[in-house]
């Protein structure tokens, strides 16, 4: 039960449009779920929207389709928006039986449904990526950030091997409030972008590459050691995590 739902209920009691017995029953039921709901295998955190500004997000990997569908139904039943990461089409088939309005974003491997309209963020989040192979991670960031109420722009395939592709877009870089830099291989994109702008840069190393790329470690180390200042790093391939951090900044 969100704050505005509580207020609406109280106003209905005050104005006499809701009798006390019904109000009590509704509040009691909501409180039973608060601050989390125990499904045995999971404890759904219904207060996260209050603590963090966005409802609990379901990390899809390692959970069965049935578990995800059940959790999804409870989140939506509590009036919250739904976001499932690292998922696939089979899970989507199970989820949409419980949550008919859910949408599957194939490239981003996300399922989402906007139940409560998110508070809009201030300014634009620009998602910059090094190469075509980084697209799934970049899209995970884009769709996640949009679902959290942000205006998002894409600037893809601007890796530093052909740096004029990036330099020709300096104006867009300069207008963003937060930049998410997604890159695999040597991950130099974060340093170069970080040196060009005064916006905070959230760097996402991707597992794109081979050999000594070590599944994203080369890019990760590159980003952690960036000689440019103002760069924060999230886990390898963690497009969602970058979006969540960026969204906290645009909502601060």
Instruction: Determine whether 123 is exposed, middle or buried from the number of CB atoms within 10 Å of its CB (0-12, 13-18, 19+).
Output: middle
> Minimal distance in Å, beta carbon 28 to its own copies?
18
Based on CB atoms, which residue is closest to its own copies, 12 or 221? 221
CA-based torsion, 83, 85, 88, 90: positive or negative: negative
> Minimal distance in Å, beta carbon 239 to its own copies?
11
b/e string for 52-75 if b means 16 or more Cβ within 10 A?
ebbbbbbebeebebebbbbbbbbb
Q: Which of 23, 27, 43 is nearest to 35 (CA)?
A: 43
> Minimal distance in Å, beta carbon 57 to its own copies?
7
Based on CB atoms, which residue is closest to its own copies, 112 or 135? 135
The length of the chain, given as a count of residues: 252
Question: SS3 for 120?
Answer: coil
Based on CB atoms, which residue is closest to its own copies, 12 or 47? 47
Based on CB atoms, which residue is closest to its own copies, 10 or 167? 167
> Minimal distance in Å, beta carbon 125 to its own copies?
11
Based on CB atoms, which residue is closest to its own copies, 23 or 86? 86
> Minimal distance in Å, beta carbon 219 to its own copies?
8
Q: Which uninterrupted H or E stretch holds 245? A: helix 239-250
């Amino acid at each position: 039960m969100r704050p505005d739902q509580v207020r609406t209920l109280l106003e209905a009691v005050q104005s006499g449009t809701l009798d006390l017995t019904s109000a009590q029953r509704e509040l009691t039921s909501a409180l039973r779920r608060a601050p989390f709901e125990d499904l045995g295998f999971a404890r759904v955190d219904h207060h996260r929207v209050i603590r963090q500004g966005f409802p609990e997000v379901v990390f899809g990997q390692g959970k069965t389709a049935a578990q995800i569908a059940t959790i999804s139904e409870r989140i939506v039943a509590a009036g919250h928006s739904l976001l499932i990461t690292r998922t696939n089409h089979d899970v989507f088939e199970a989820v949409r039986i419980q949550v008919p309005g859910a949408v599957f974003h194939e490239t981003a491997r996300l399922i989402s449904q906007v139940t409560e309209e998110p508070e809009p963020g201030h300014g634009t989040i620009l998602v910059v990526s090094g190469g075509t192979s980084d697209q799934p991670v970049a899209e995970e960031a884009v769709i996640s950030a949009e679902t959290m109420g942000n205006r998002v722009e894409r600037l893809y395939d601007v890796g530093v091997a052909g740096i004029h592709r990036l330099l020709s877009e300096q104006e867009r870089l300069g207008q963003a409030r937060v930049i998410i830099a997604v890159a695999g291989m040597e991950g130099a994109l974060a340093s170069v972008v970080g040196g060009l702008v005064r916006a905070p840069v959230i760097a996402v190393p991707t597992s794109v590459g081979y050999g000594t790329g070590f599944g994203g470690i080369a890019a990760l180390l590159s980003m952690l050691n960036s000689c440019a200042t103002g760069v924060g790093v999230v886990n390898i391939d963690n497009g969602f995590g970058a979006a969540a951090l960026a969204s906290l900044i645009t909502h601060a």
